[in-house]
Amino acid sequence: MSALDLAKRLKAQFGDLLSEPAEFRGELTLNLADAEHIVAVGSCAMRELGFDLLVDVSSVDNYGDDPRWTIVYELYGVAHRQYLRLKTNVSEEKSELPTVTGVWRTADWHEREIYDLMGIRFRDHPDLRRIIMWEGYPYFPLRKDFPLGGKPTDLPEIAFTKSAPIEGGPFVTTPGGRDAIEREPRVRTPESP
């Protein structure tokens, strides 16, 4: 059975909650209209359609638009070797949706990372705490309104006490150059261009 056939079966099961399957570059996507139904849709995709592996969960910040965030679930069926992408939106006011850790255990760390770096909460998650930033850090670094240079912190000895510089900073690459090594910012010395 093809990924399109599987996507159509899922669409038939949930009707207007799911969009028609959209194909782009050989990949299929279904958009879920209401994020509150992600557990039911995910359970059906896993148990009835064989999408037994949650490859990834990621988030997109649509800063300036409403709803602000898009949560993207990348599914794979080991037996039938088909991929399917589920997308759903979450508004800034709510910034919460149900966890899918009860469907796919691999969602645990993915959801923690999204919470840590974007500030989106996953209701009923078994261990929703920061995974990269330290507890008590008041910001969400992957949001588009977070400055590239970072924000000052009042925790000396733990992190920078002032914003990191952008110009010539550790994440600024040099355009052009002979090869990737020459463009790599970590190999440049302060004297080199």
CA–CA distance, 155 with 133 (Å, rounded to integer): 13
What single-letter DSSP state applies at residue 91?
-
Domain shared by 11 and 37, yes or no: yes
- In a domain, residue 121? The reply is yes
Domain shared by 134 and 154, yes or no: no
For 93-154, give the DSSP string. TT-EEE--TTT-TTHHHHHHHHHHHH--EEET-TT---SSSPTT----TTSTTS-TT----S
Predicted pLDDT of residue 192: 47
- In a domain, residue 80? The reply is yes
Domain shared by 82 and 158, yes or no: no
Domain shared by 74 and 109, yes or no: yes
Predicted pLDDT of residue 142: 93
pLDDT in tens, 89-107: 999 998 999 999 999 999 9
> What range defines the domain where residue 98 resides?
3-142
Q: Of all helices (H) and strands (E), which one includes residue 18? A: none
Domain shared by 93 and 133, yes or no: yes
Length of the chain: 193
- In a domain, residue 111? The reply is yes
Domain shared by 27 and 61, yes or no: yes
- How many separate domains does the chain show? 2
Burial 160-180 (b: 16+ CB within 10 A, else e): eeeeeeeeeeeeeeeeeeeee
Rounded (to 5) percent helix, strand, coil in the chain: 25, 20, 55
Burial 47-71 (b: 16+ CB within 10 A, else e): eebbbbebeebebebeeeeeebbbb
Domain shared by 36 and 131, yes or no: yes
Predicted pLDDT of residue 128: 96
Domain shared by 20 and 112, yes or no: yes
Q: Of all helices (H) and strands (E), which one includes residue 23? A: strand 22-24
Contact between residue 29 and residue 85 where contact means Cβ atoms under 8 Å apart:
yes
Predicted pLDDT of residue 137: 83
- In a domain, residue 15? The reply is yes
Domain shared by 114 and 23, yes or no: yes
- In a domain, residue 192? The reply is no
Domain shared by 60 and 90, yes or no: yes
Domain shared by 60 and 21, yes or no: yes
- In a domain, residue 92? The reply is yes
Spell out, as residue ranges, where the chain has pLDDT lower than 50. Answer: 192-193
Q: Of all helices (H) and strands (E), which one includes residue 170? A: none
Question: Which CATH number fits the domain that encloses residue 135?
Answer: 3.30.460.80
- In a domain, residue 89? The reply is yes
Domain shared by 10 and 99, yes or no: yes
